[in-house]
Structure 1
């Protein structure tokens, strides 16, 4: 079965399948979750017709085999790691596009990067929770992709960054957590309030043909989380002397040594080193010789 031969009713998931194909070698984790999201949306669209059911079952079988071939700690099998991986990758794509946009470098690669970031933010919905920041950046990325593309088609110079006016619901602002600042600035041009999506039906290439991925575009690969620091006992620089007389201590000796140590601790709280040293010396003497003095 061809994973790219979409039934007509499932054309709306075409861009997610195409993005998965583009990432099969670049980042298999991203590719897996793009297809996973496509299956989820495909089932919502049509899971009863023979053609759609056959395609979706084939895609599900492909994903299951891919999952079973991965180790237990793989981000494909561990959704917690998988979510962090996809989110990190999506933010890198978004920040690349946002930085290019703010620098005034408007081209088809920026459009594609914004659009891809928006789709990857969509993909994050396969996990339990999506943060408000992700939703905000998703809306902004999709709007920016449509807006810059329309400007390139009409010859208009796009406005860099977010809109200068706060509170405009038609042109979303990016979240500040991603590294993008959403504060107002002074611009000479005003973007259209409701840009219409410039893309062809999903499943086709972007206008002008598929563009090569920019060299600056991050090529993310799975990095396992850093291991938790293991506790290691500090190197001992001092050891108590062995009992020279071989004396055996009784329970009263141990109780007395504990009291001496408590006295020393109390003295330290009052910053009285003399008393602390005296009591610690007595405790040490008792433990090594069986006598305080």
Structure 2
């Protein structure tokens, strides 16, 4: 049993329904060493919620031990080291997932497997929106996105139970609304960080693996930081690495 599985088994009964979703997100991102920071902030959210309950101090202590161990084992992870960078990263990840779910919602013909994948992505968006609370007040756009995502996930779950998608034909329950005002849209995130606009421009390219996008995002942050410090050599070096990563996907 993994450490996360052990922690999940220790969740206070009062919080099981609320937090098991976030443990699921944490486990999913733990599979990719480059995304361990997402797992880190999932556990930080879980610790914060457990602290509010003020009952199972041992559980909270165990989660805090996990956080300390993760930080110690990833001393050079800028996303873990900087809460500001962590917030920006999770906001950008939500935006990427929202773009993907919007594209999937546009497809009127969904198989059960496609519906399950879409449901999981909606649940992830909702959970990540919750996690933003560890950084302070959550922006209204992301609160709204989280609520919509959770609602869609529940709706898709009900559709699957009722057999939606089993025939491969369209289902009125899973088609996107006719009114664009009701559609889930990616928020515009004001930021000096060039990676934000990069995401908005490139997420439609389905050929680029997410881990590559994540690496590009990180390099662009480094380049931006170096440029602000007038370190041109480092800026150029990071930008060259970005070009090397993206060149194979420049169709």
**Structure 1: how far apart are the matches of 2:15 and 2:154?**
22
Considering only CA atoms, is the larger Rg found in Structure 1 or Structure 2? Answer: 1
The residue that corresponds to 1:17 in the other structure is: 23
Contact 1:112 1:145 in 2 (8 A): yes
Structure 2 counterpart SS, 1:174: coil
Q: How many residues are matched?
A: 189
Cα distance, 1:111 vs. partner? Answer: 0.7
The residue that corresponds to 2:41 in the other structure is: 33
The residue that corresponds to 2:148 in the other structure is: 140
The residue that corresponds to 2:179 in the other structure is: 164
The residue that corresponds to 2:203 in the other structure is: none
Structure 1 counterpart SS, 2:136: coil
The residue that corresponds to 1:116 in the other structure is: 124
Cα distance, 1:164 vs. partner? Answer: 3.3
Structure with more helix by fraction: 2
Deviation track 1:220-250 (CA, whole Å, cap 9, x = no partner) reads 6351402316388xxxxxxxxxxxxxxxxxx
**Structure 2: how far apart are the matches of 1:146 and 1:23?**
22
How much is the aligned-residue C-alpha RMSD, in angstroms? 2.9
Q: Structure 1: any 5+ residue segments left out of the alignment? A: 167-171, 180-213, 233-293
Of residues 168, 187, 191, the one that matches 1:177 is: 187
Q: Structure 2 vs 1, CA of residues 60 and 107 (structure 1 numbering), >3 Å: closer, same or farther? A: same
TM-score with structure 1 setting the length = 0.57
Residue 6 (1) aligns with residue 2 (2): no
**Structure 1: how far apart are the matches of 2:91 and 2:176?**
22
The residue that corresponds to 1:87 in the other structure is: 91
Q: Structure 2 vs 1, CA of residues 134 and 163 (structure 1 numbering), >3 Å: closer, same or farther? A: farther
Contact 2:123 2:153 in 1 (8 A): yes
The residue that corresponds to 1:257 in the other structure is: none
The residue that corresponds to 1:218 in the other structure is: 210
Contact 1:72 1:78 in 2 (8 A): no
Q: Structure 2 vs 1, CA of residues 96 and 165 (structure 1 numbering), >3 Å: closer, same or farther? A: closer
Structure 2 counterpart SS, 1:75: helix
TM-score with structure 2 setting the length = 0.65
Structure 1 counterpart SS, 2:22: helix
Of residues 46, 51, 63, the one that matches 1:43 is: 51
**Structure 2: how far apart are the matches of 1:231 and 1:72?**
20
Cα distance, 1:65 vs. partner? Answer: 2.4
Cα distance, 1:216 vs. partner? Answer: 8.3
Residue 63 (1) aligns with residue 67 (2): yes
Cα distance, 1:160 vs. partner? Answer: 2.3
Q: Structure 2 vs 1, CA of residues 215 and 9 (structure 1 numbering), >3 Å: closer, same or farther? A: farther
Deviation track 1:239-281 (CA, whole Å, cap 9, x = no partner) reads xxxxxxxxxxxxxxxxxxxxxxxxxxxxxxxxxxxxxxxxxxx
Contact 2:119 2:156 in 1 (8 A): yes
Q: Structure 2: any 5+ residue segments left out of the alignment? A: 165-170, 190-205, 233-251
Q: Structure 2 vs 1, CA of residues 137 and 177 (structure 1 numbering), >3 Å: closer, same or farther? A: same
